[in-house]
Amino acid sequence: MTAVRRALSPSARALLERVSHTAGGPRFPVHDAARPLAAPIAHVKDASGADAVVAIHRSADAFATWRHESPARRAEALSGWHARMMASAEDLAQITALEAGKALADTRREVAYAASFIDWCAALARQTAGEVLLPSSRDHRQLVLKEPIGPVAVITPWNFPLAMITRKVSAALGAGCTTVVKPAETTPLSALALEALAHDAGIPSDAFIVLTASRANAAVVGTELCQDPRIRALSFTGSTAVGKHLYRSCADTVKKLELELGGNAPFIVARDADVDVAVASLTAAKLRANGQACVAPNRVLVAREVHDEFIAKLVRTLDETVVLGHGLDDGVTMGPLIDAAAREKFVGFISDATSKGAKLVCGGPDDPRARALSGAGSECEGAPFVAPTVVTDVPPHARCWQEEVFSPLFSVAAFDVEDEAFAMANDTTAGLAAYFCSRDLSRCWRAVEKLEAGVVGINEGAISTCVQPFGGVKESGLGREAGPHALEEFLETKSVTFRLSS
Ligand code: ADP
């Protein structure tokens, strides 16, 4: 049994109340994702297109000042934001767990991960520099300046509501840009809490503006952000469909784009893999955010020689380690999916796969644990809980093989020849993450070169940290976040030529 808490601590409640919108004007409700039938936990402002125009105006004005702040001052402000995040880490973890439906253990890790990008970008902000070139002739001197690109629009999803904002905003602010952030409609409170802490730390209020909007208003706010010529870059994380729409929408003003879109990550287990390591890496990568991460392994390809051992160990691990429940309850490792539509998709993927010959090994749409949690009269009535589910013998034409499942559904197929596995792995329009497990160094190296992905994990399921660039190839996106060049996405290069008088 897990201990029941389900309520925020007094300090988390105070932070939530501070950022909730109590004044007049249009508002929309925010729910506890694990208790969809309960009263909303807060209301926040529902921004309109006109509000977006005002925010852009404020951002453009603030840019005129922030761009000329010394790098040291910008770095200090970021460091202050990092310190305040760490001081409020538990409050942020609780608020995020509540609105995103994630387990507290998961959101505590997210707070540390999210804060690491701010710390990282504070250091980079001090180091950004141009270049003095060797001259092209005796009478000329040439140099390269790095300048902030301008006000940046940031649109983020609900699955990592803290980290997707800090990763983008700290790089933009560090580069000297200002930001207007539209967070996901399901998780606006995490965003507003981050904004409040940043302002407390001395980041000017107009340099980092959070514009919360309901799903109904997302498109009008998005249109203003994409089409206003004063916004010079868009950094977006979300679905491929919305990303493509925003890409088109930014064409008329030729904005710089950074797009982190959907994935369809392969996870390959070679015949000489350490099966225990492979299972641990797979479950770590897959179960984060309740299976709702763009880097989550979507297609598991296992060498036939180790297939049965792998499945047995995977099922045992899931059984022994996953505890479903309300994210704020002690001991819970996995909350519900984000909404009922996500659960319907999960059920549809399983019935489609089994109708095409796949075998359901554990979990599934009728899992009694998930049912008991969300059944009539229960505390979490109506919450879209699903249990980790394993299906094997999945054919390539199954929908769960072709689309991003965004749920704890492990779709597995066996393979005989390694090249066959690479061909299957690359047979997708997505190219975000890919994973490969083997004890053989040469085989691992070949895998790194053959896999079409922006991020590759070898015997490892945790593949994103502040030190390394993150982003996809093919239709998974454009640009890279984090890593040594994190600020580059938000900098323009100005080439300068001096002619000397003789
Ligand atoms: P998900 O399926 O993860 O919700 P979406 O791509 O639908 O991913 O949403 C990611 C972000 O994009 C959210 O902040 C959402 O409100 C926003 N969004 C969705 N549609 C639009 C749109 N037409 N214009 C601008 N933003 C949008």
Q: What would the 3-class secondary structure string for 32-89 be?
A: CCCCCCCCCCEEEECCCHHHHHHHHHHHHHHHHHHCCCCHHHHHHHHHHHHHHHHHCH
* Nearest ligand 1 atom to alpha carbon 292: 3
Coil, helix or strand at residue 493: strand
**CB distance 242 to ligand 1 below 6 Å:** yes
Res. 5 pLDDT band, cuts 50 70 90:
low
Q: Is the pLDDT of residue 463 over 70?
A: yes
Alpha carbon of 87 to ligand 1 centroid (Å): 30
- Burial of residue 355 (CB within 10 Å: 0-12, 13-18, 19+) is exposed
Closest Cα to residue 78, out of 144, 128, 44?
Answer: 128
Per this entry, what is the length of the chain? 502
**CB distance 226 to ligand 1 below 6 Å:** no
Closest Cα to residue 32, out of 91, 101, 90, 88?
Answer: 101
**CB distance 245 to ligand 1 below 6 Å:** yes
DSSP string, 250-311: TGGGT-EEEEE----EEEEE-TTS-HHHHHHHHHHHHHGGGG--TTSEEEEEEEHHHHHHHH
> How many angstroms separate the CA atoms of 324 and 36, rounded?
16
**CB distance 156 to ligand 1 below 6 Å:** yes
Q: Per residue in 101-117, pLDDT tens?
A: 999 999 999 999 999 99
Coil, helix or strand at residue 484: coil
Residue 481 bridge partners (DSSP): 470
**Average pLDDT for 445-466:** 98
Q: What is the predicted pLDDT for the residue at 454?
A: 98
Alpha carbon of 382 to ligand 1 centroid (Å): 24
> How many angstroms separate the CA atoms of 12 and 42, rounded?
13
User: What is the best residue among 51, 155, 182 to mutate for testing ligand 1's pocket, by most ligand atoms within 8 Å of CB?
Assistant: 155
**Average pLDDT for 220-243:** 98
Q: What is the predicted pLDDT for the residue at 43?
A: 95
Q: Per residue in 52-107, pLDDT tens?
A: 999 999 999 999 999 999 999 999 999 999 999 999 999 999 999 999 999 999 99
> How many angstroms separate the CA atoms of 480 and 491, rounded?
13
Nearest CA to ligand 1 atom 18: 218
Res. 420 pLDDT band, cuts 50 70 90:
very high
**Average pLDDT for 134-162:** 98
Q: What is the predicted pLDDT for the residue at 238?
A: 98
Coil, helix or strand at residue 482: coil
> How many angstroms separate the CA atoms of 233 and 488, rounded?
12
DSSP 470: B
Q: What is the predicted pLDDT for the residue at 281?
A: 98
Closest Cα to residue 373, out of 492, 448, 290, 317?
Answer: 290
User: What is the best residue among 242, 246, 257 to mutate for testing ligand 1's pocket, by most ligand atoms within 8 Å of CB?
Assistant: 242
* Nearest ligand 1 atom to alpha carbon 221: 25
* Nearest ligand 1 atom to alpha carbon 215: 16
> How many angstroms separate the CA atoms of 225 and 235, rounded?
11
Q: Which residue has better confidence, 134 or 21?
A: 134
Q: Count CA atoms within 13 Å of residue 152 on its CB side.
A: 34
Q: Which residues are catalytic?
A: 260, 294
**CB distance 253 to ligand 1 below 6 Å:** no
**Average pLDDT for 327-336:** 96
Strands of the sheet containing 491-499, edge to edge, are 131-132, 140-148, 491-499
**CB distance 222 to ligand 1 below 6 Å:** yes
Measured between alpha carbons, how far apart are the two ends of the chain, in Å? 85
Q: What is the pTM (predicted TM-score) of this model? A: 0.97
Q: What is the predicted pLDDT for the residue at 21?
A: 76
Mean of per-residue pLDDT scores for the chain: 97
Q: Is the pLDDT of residue 2 over 70?
A: no
> How many angstroms separate the CA atoms of 476 and 238, rounded?
10
Alpha carbon of 185 to ligand 1 centroid (Å): 9
Is the separation of the CB atoms in 148 and 232 below 8 Å? Answer: no
> How many angstroms separate the CA atoms of 319 and 272, rounded?
25
**CB distance 220 to ligand 1 below 6 Å:** no
C-alpha 200 chain-centroid distance: 25
Alpha carbon of 5 to ligand 1 centroid (Å): 32
Torsion sign, CA atoms 468, 471, 474, 476: positive
Alpha carbon of 218 to ligand 1 centroid (Å): 7
Please, what's the b/e burial string for 309-325 (b: 16 or more CB within 10 A of its CB; e: otherwise)? ebbebbbebbeeebbbb
Q: Is 255 left (phi over 0), alpha (psi -120 to 50) or beta?
A: beta
> How many angstroms separate the CA atoms of 318 and 70, rounded?
51
> How many angstroms separate the CA atoms of 162 and 110, rounded?
7
Q: Per residue in 154-181, pLDDT tens?
A: 999 999 999 999 999 999 999 999 999 9
Q: What is the predicted pLDDT for the residue at 237?
A: 98
Res. 426 pLDDT band, cuts 50 70 90:
very high
As a whole-number percent, the residues of the chain with pLDDT over 90 amount to 97
The contacts of residue 163 (CB under 8 Å, 6+ apart) are: 110, 113, 114, 117
DSSP 487: G
Q: Is the pLDDT of residue 349 over 90?
A: yes
Coil, helix or strand at residue 226: helix
Res. 4 pLDDT band, cuts 50 70 90:
low
Alpha carbon of 191 to ligand 1 centroid (Å): 15
Q: Is the pLDDT of residue 428 over 90?
A: yes
**CB distance 181 to ligand 1 below 6 Å:** no
Is the separation of the CB atoms in 42 and 95 below 8 Å? Answer: no
Is the separation of the CB atoms in 157 and 65 below 8 Å? Answer: no
Both tokens assigned to 308:
């049965």
Alpha carbon of 397 to ligand 1 centroid (Å): 28
Q: What is the predicted pLDDT for the residue at 1?
A: 38
Res. 347 pLDDT band, cuts 50 70 90:
very high
**CB distance 157 to ligand 1 below 6 Å:** yes
What type of residue sits at position 334?
A: M
